[in-house]
Amino acid sequence: MNNILRMLAQRISLGVLTLFIVSIIIFLAVSMLPGDAAQAILGQAATPDTIEILRKQLGLDLPAHTRYLTWLSSIVQGDFGTSIGNGREISEVIGVRFFNTIFLAAFAACISVPLALVLGILAALYRNSYYDRTVNALTLTSISTPEFFVAYILILYVSVKTGWFPSLANVHADTGFFERLEKTFLPAVTLTLVSVAYMMRMTRAAIINLLSSSYIEMASLKGMKRLRIITHHALPNAWAPIINVIVLNLAYLIVGVVVVEVVFVYPGLGQLLVDAVQRRDMPVVQACCLIFAATYVSLNLIADILSILTNPRLLHPK
């Protein structure tokens, strides 16, 4: 128990340190963008006095380290600042958008995770068969295909030509649950087709790696069915790498939705980030990037912890 608590403390400390470093990178990257943010916001017709007033309002006249410390202290207190584009509190704007992104990622995960596990188990069960080769070829194809291309193909054949599902995922706060599922089906399928391959191949590889173990051979010699051997003996011992890749893919589903949200005009955090970049709304850009980074670091931390908990031998590395 003490080893687990010590491990948790170490991982959490490392995660906090990583977020601190990422926050510095985000702030420096935004600050180093070419052009004057005040000039870009006001336009070419703005006078120098107006630009200088806006620079003071945005704090751009202060040294970089002062602006960073002020921004970081506000973030720690839960204050993301105010949007330059509409004057609203950024936390209020991000709250709705982040919920939409989480909903889309959860919907895609509910489709992709069970599908990947079933396909991976069957691929290991029928190793080197036509099914195994076909699934591997299809998954390699899906991995190699860009997200936007998959999205446009689905829009063309599933929305435009058949009219089964809407091509635009224009949801809002009053959208019902089942209507929301219908409108986000195509974005969720796009994310599923791109992410399911990694989880399926890891499940297949982890199970096949364990099939040569002595206890698996003993179970086979006892006359147990191959499916029962895989599900009751091999799969529980393969959970560590499988859980790790599943959680990492969940991180991808949340962080990597920018392209999919833009294609389907889905009002999520990725679409908000793209809109903020176009408007040069730097406080919103910094907040979105930090939330994406925090989500990715947190899920990586969860994946690391779950891998160790499902395989206690990792607590005692040689």
Give me the phi and psi of 36, to 5 degrees please: -95, 125
pLDDT for the residue 60: 67
| Mean pLDDT for all residues in the chain | 78
What average pLDDT does this structure show over 118-133? Answer: 82
Are both 114 and 204 inside the same structural domain? yes
Q: Does 106 have pLDDT greater than 60?
A: yes
> Residue 193: its pLDDT value, please?
82
Which tokens sit at 122?
Answer: 């069957």
In this prediction, residue 72 has a pLDDT band, given cuts at 50, 70 and 90, of confident
Question: Is 117 in the same domain as 196?
Answer: yes
* Whether 249 and 294 share a structural domain: no
Residue 88 is assigned to a structural domain of this protein: no
Residue-wise pLDDT for 251-303, tens only, equals 777 777 788 888 888 888 888 888 888 777 788 888 888 888 888 888 888 87
Is the pLDDT assigned to residue 318 strictly greater than 60? no
pLDDT at 314 over 60: no
The reply to whether 86 falls in a domain is: no
Same domain, 103 and 160: yes
Between 305 and 108, name the one with better pLDDT: 108
Q: Which domain holds residue 301?
A: 1-81+284-318
In a domain, 125, yes or no: yes
pLDDT digits (tens, 9 = 90+) for 213-245: 777 777 777 777 777 777 777 767 767 777 777
Residue 83: pLDDT band with limits 50, 70, 90: confident
pTM for the whole structure? 0.78
* Statement to judge: residues 107 and 127 lie in one domain: yes
The whole-number average pLDDT for the span 125-144 is 82
Q: pLDDT at residue 206 above 60?
A: yes
Is residue 90 one of the residues assigned to a domain? no
What is the percent of the chain where pLDDT is above 90? 0
Q: pLDDT digit string (tens) for 142-200?
A: 777 787 888 888 888 888 888 788 887 777 777 788 888 888 888 888 888 888 887 88
Q: DSSP string spanning 131-188?
A: HHHHHHHHHHHHHHS-HHHHHHHHIIIIIITT-SS-SS----TT--HHHHHHHTHHHH
| Claim to verify: residue 261 and residue 151 sit in the same structural domain | yes
In a domain, 121, yes or no: yes
Asked if residue 248 is part of any domain, the answer here is yes
Instruction: Give the pLDDT confidence score for residue 42 in this predicted structure.
Output: 64
CA Rg value for the chain = 24
The answer on pLDDT for 103 being more than 60 is: yes
Residue 36, pLDDT > 70, answer no
Q: What is the C-alpha separation between 166 and 252, in angstroms, rounded?
A: 24
Check pLDDT > 70 for residue 40: no
pLDDT tier for residue 312 given thresholds of 50, 70 and 90 = low
Q: Residue 45: its pLDDT value, please?
A: 66
Per-residue pLDDT, averaged over 22-46, amounts to: 72
The whole-angstrom separation of Cα 303 and Cα 184 is 27
pLDDT given for residue 224 in this prediction: 76
The verdict on 193 and 293 lying in the same domain is no
β-strand partners of 184: none
Tell me, yes or no, whether 51 and 175 share the same domain: no
Looking at the predicted structure, is the pLDDT value of residue 53 above 70? yes
Give yes or no for residue 116 having a pLDDT over 80.
yes
Work out the average pLDDT over 203-218. Answer: 76
More confident residue, 318 or 197: 197
Task: Find residue 89's DSSP bridge partners.
Answer: 82
Q: How many domains does the chain have?
A: 2
Question: What's the CATH code of the domain at 151?
Answer: 1.10.3720.10
For residues 210 and 228, membership in a common domain is answered with yes
Residues 118 and 237 grouped into a single domain: yes
45 plus 135 within the same structural domain: no
For residues 169 and 202, state if they share a domain.
yes
